[in-house]
Chains A and B, each alone.
Chain A
Amino acid sequence: MKNNETKYPIFVNFLLHLHPYMLNKQAVKFSRTFGLGGINALLFVILTVTGILMRFFYVPTPEGAYDSIVSFQNQSILGTLIRNIHHWSAMFMVVAAFLHLLRVFYSQSIFYERRKNWYYGLALFIVVLAFNFTGYLLPWDQLSFWAVTIMTNIVEYLPFVGDSFANMIRGGETVNENTLLNFYTFHTALLPLLFVIFAMLHIWMVRKARGVTVANNNENEMVNVYPALIQKEIIVALSLVVFIVLFALFFDAPLLEKANPLISPNPSKAPWYFMGIQELLIHLHPFVATVVIPLALTIFFIYIPKINIDKDKVGTWLYSAKGKSIIILSTVFSSIITILLIVIFEYLLHLNQLNMLLFISTGIIPLFMFLVPSFAFLLYLKMAKKADKLELIISVTTIIFTSYIIMSLIGIWFRGEGMHLIF
């Protein structure tokens, strides 16, 4: 390291201070992290740069927003490309952040000294979604206007505070100029600040936990961070930039006609990452879909890292030999039960026509139709597979993730006019 220090003082003192001088050889392997944390960080930088460029042109009013984007795309150099890069980076960031969450979860990297960082990670994930959602409205076209109308109306289903909370977000009863200004301020001022603060804590806590987890805690061979890690990081970063620029060259960010508050397109959908919630709302009573399930999930995700697992298991991909088969079984089970229930509720069983309280007929009954088979499945894992506590937790998490992904995919691709199923 001495050599580098004298040769590239800025490089070593500034850029490298995010890294330790030496790190475990296993931590450098690409398949340990897939570079996902770094990818998210780089995407944030790309989004910041392109976002600042667009802020020079953007007019946050219902009259000006759409036209400012059209003229930015048509009349400024590389305007379309810059907007495309911003759009696709934002979309990829949701995916990359989710994959990062999956990576740390399935490699048992959230326990003990990393527990707090799991919570910071969840907070960052929520910030990423908020970023995406607030940015969604800014083009003020038919797609964004109605997607935000739908999402804020989903918020209205929260009991007691729903209406006033939704009105606070919107600055009124409907999506209007106040909403645009609110979202613009969140998107370009408050959320970047929050993100930077949380990201700094997030990265600092990785360092504090002595780096990323490794597969075998007894192997301690150390290597220099430069070139071992830095080279790989540069390769991943450059590949990502090339990929995004190419993608942005070939695929345009969507821009429909200007928003018209009097004409709803058919069908109107929430942004794709919230389609799972909209799908849930089609089948379940609003109280269950917006309160019971999110609350249960929050408690569950806070609880997971509090389990005391065998310290040797920390960092082990898929936890154990059984882990892999349990994850595959859970994925298959969850896919089948989710698709089956959606088809049943769509064509065979119309629970809202049962002559009883809606909360029971459309809330409790369908919830139990999902939970009872799930419990039976977990019981099977416990009895036949002798799954231990953490393997059951992994199974539950896999069921939740798979179910949400399936519901999202159905909502995005298999719902057409009037939100009916199409094949």
Chain B
Amino acid sequence: MGKNIFRRSFIKKAIIAIVSLEAAYLIFDVFKNKSKDKLGSEMFIAGNSARFEKNKMYPFNSGKFYLSVFEDGGMLAISIKCTHLGCIVQPNNDGFLCPCHASAFDKHGEVLSPPATRALDIFPISIEKGEVLVDTSNPIKRKGFRKSQLTYV
């Protein structure tokens, strides 16, 4: 009798231990992902900077961003992913419009009308030997547009 209970309680404890180990691993994993390792940075070559004219917007569907060049020559790589529920925004006259739930953004990616509450993400731009490189694996979340986000040639 005593042996039986011993075996049962042992199995029970073993199961609890294994399950909580797995749970702890999962929870740890979820939190670990947050501090993103930057190993997977993927540079998207957008082309020679001389190619891009001021006051124009160039779509890069395969890189999932719009490269906007403003009047003063500052550039932004704006994500095509709506910050509301992840649909793909379409460019229109004033900026961008999300077809799914009608969020609207201005040309800098700031929210013009809800349901989106956050400006469109941007990707870091770097310029090497005249080539515009966009780091498409590291979207930057932002509250709104600031001049410091612009990249100049």
Contact = CB atoms under 8 A, between A and B. Distances in A.
A146 B100 CA distance: 9
A26 B61 CA distance: 65
5 contacts: A164-B33, A265-B100, A268-B100, A282-B101, A352-B117
B100 A264 contact: yes
A268 B85 contact: yes
Given A264-B100, A268-B100, A150 B85 contact: yes
Contacts of A373: none
Contact of A150 (B30, B80, B100, B114): B100
A420 B99 CA distance: 12
Contacts of B85: 149-150, 153-154, 268, 278, 281
Contacts of A282: 101, 115
B83 to A, nearest CB: 9
A302 interface: no
Contacts of A164: 29-34
Contact of B61 (A150, A262, A352, A419): A262
Most buried by B among A156, A282, A418: A418
A266 interface: yes
Contacts of A168: 29-30, 33
B34 A418 contact: no
Interface string B10-37: 0000000000000000000111111000
A335 interface: no
Contacts of B33: 163-164, 167-168
Nearest to B117: A358
A153 B86 contact: yes
Contacts of B64: 174
Pick the 8 closest A-B CB pairs, nearest first.
A418-B102, A164-B33, A264-B87, A153-B86, A266-B99, A268-B100, A153-B85, A419-B101
B88 A263 contact: yes
A143 to B, nearest CB: 13
Interface in A370-423: 417-420
Task: Determine the main DSSP class of A at the interface with B.
Answer: helix
Contacts of A286: 117
B100 A266 contact: yes
Interface in B80-133: 80-81, 84-88, 98-102, 114-115, 117
A264 to B, nearest CB: 4
A63 interface: no
B117 to A, nearest CB: 7
A161 interface: yes
Given A150-B87, A160-B34, 19 more contacts: A146-B100, A153-B86, A154-B85, A163-B33, A164-B29, A164-B33, A168-B30, A173-B139, A174-B64, A261-B88, A262-B80, A262-B88, A264-B87, A266-B100, A268-B87, A282-B115, A286-B117, A418-B99, A418-B102
B92 to A, nearest CB: 13
Contacts of A417: 102
A422 to B, nearest CB: 13
Contacts of A261: 88
Contacts of A152: 86
Given A163-B34, A262-B61, A358-B117, A419 B102 contact: yes
A264 B114 contact: no
A420 B98 contact: no
Nearest to B82: A264
A420 B88 contact: no
Interface in A243-277: 261-268
Most buried by B among A167, A267, A268, A358: A268
A62 to B, nearest CB: 15
A267 B61 CA distance: 21
Contacts of A420: 102
